[in-house]
Amino acid sequence: MSLTLYFAGGSCSLPALVGLEEARANFDAVRLVLAEGDQRSAEYLALHPRGRVPALAIDGQAIGENAAVLTLIAQAYPSARLLPAGDLIAVGRAYELIGWFSSSVHVSFAQVFRPERFTRDEAAWPALRAGGRENVLSAFAELDERLSHGGPWLLGETFSLLDPYALVFHRWAPRLDITTSDFPAFDTHARRTLARPSVGRAIARETSPDRLLVRA
Ligand SMILES: N[C@@H](CCC(=O)N[C@@H](CS)C(=O)NCC(=O)O)C(=O)O
């Protein structure tokens, strides 16, 4: 099986990259520069017509959406225990968070970053941005509450791909003028996640000058 992850620095592709690093997978990593429009290049659109990252190509067949990509990585490397398996409640808790992150928390940030994707009516953009920021604050409060009564990881005792997924939002907070120290348990969780060697290696790939990093 050949695996290629298409990712971009500072984006929501971080948990997929971390997953492959945690599993010590043999994969190709292609870094896209979103600010330069790599995701809209004819070559990338031919592979993934939605023009987003992450995308994971398995034997040349690209699959998009974090919910799918993270599930595939976890299932491809079961011994790395990247997501719960077997225990139905644990599986449910994990996928509940993946669904909430991708369909609500990420979308609240998108309201702030890309209001034009929600309406062409520019007069509505400030309200969209304000509503998105409020929803992000409420999501951060929920994560903080959860981590202050559980942890050390989002699913409890065991690290999972939900942890670097939450880190994505923590990294985006300054762009919304959100002070992460207002959410101390979430802040501590972000530092704990950043200290994992796999996360360090993933971030090094994000900042590497190479766009195609062949064979991990
Ligand atoms: N629902 C998708 C969202 C993917 C997404 O929006 N990715 C952003 C980076 S965080 C992207 O590719 N942006 C490029 C663009 O919008 O042109 C997922 O969860 O994977």
Q: Look up the CATH architecture of domain 88-196.
A: Up-down Bundle (1.20)
User: Which protein residue's CA is at the shortest distance from atom 16 of ligand 1?
Assistant: 52
Q: For the chain, what percent of residues have pLDDT higher than 90? A: 94
- 145, 18, 136: which is closest to 73 by C-alpha? 18
Distance CA 174, CA 146 (A): 22
User: What is the predicted pLDDT for the residue at 76?
Assistant: 97
Residue 211: is its pLDDT beyond 90?
no
Q: How far is the CA of 51 from the centre of ligand 1 (A)?
A: 8
Rounded to whole angstroms, how far apart are CA atoms 9 and 213? 13
| Alpha-carbon distances of 210 from 42, 114, 197, rounded to whole Å | 20, 28, 20
Q: Which atom of ligand 1 is nearest to the CA of 32?
A: 12
Cα dihedral 206, 63, 73, 68 in deg (nearest 10): 110
- In single-letter form, the type of residue at position 60 comes to G
Name the residue at shortest CA distance from atom 13 of ligand 1.
Answer: 52
Residue 187 phi, psi (nearest 5): -60, -45
Residue 216 has pLDDT above 50, yes or no: no
Residue 215 has pLDDT above 60, yes or no: no
pLDDT score of 213: 46
- 58 CA to centre of ligand 1 in angstroms: 19
pLDDT value, residue 209: 73
Q: Which CATH class is domain 3-81+198-213?
A: alpha beta
Q: Stretch 129-140: mean pLDDT, rounded?
A: 98
| Rounded distance from Cα 50 to ligand 1 centre (Å) | 9
Q: Specify the pLDDT at position 212.
A: 60
Q: For residue 102, report the distance from its CA to the centre of ligand 1, in Å.
A: 10
Pocket test for ligand 1, best of 33, 39, 50, 53 (most atoms within 8 A of CB): 53
Question: What does the DSSP assignment read for 161-195?
Answer: THHHHHHHHHHHGGGGT--GGGSHHHHHHHHHHHT
Mean pLDDT of the chain: 95
The arithmetic mean of pLDDT across residues 72-90, rounded, is 97
Residue 214 has pLDDT above 60, yes or no: no
Q: Hey, how many other C-beta atoms are within 10 angstroms of the C-beta on 107?
A: 14
**The pLDDT of residue 174:** 98
pLDDT mean over 13-28? 97
Residue 91: its pLDDT value, please?
98
Q: Which residues pair with 31 in a beta bridge?
A: 7
Nearest CA to 101 out of 16, 5, 178 is that of: 16
Pick from 42-56, 61-75, 127-141, 200-214: least confident: 200-214
β-partners of residue 3 are: 58
Query: Which of 31, 192, 170, 176 lies closest to 101 in space, CA to CA?
Result: 170
The structural domains of the chain, with segments of one domain joined by +, span: 3-81+198-213, 88-196
Q: Is the dihedral of CA 129, 113, 63, 3 positive or negative?
A: negative
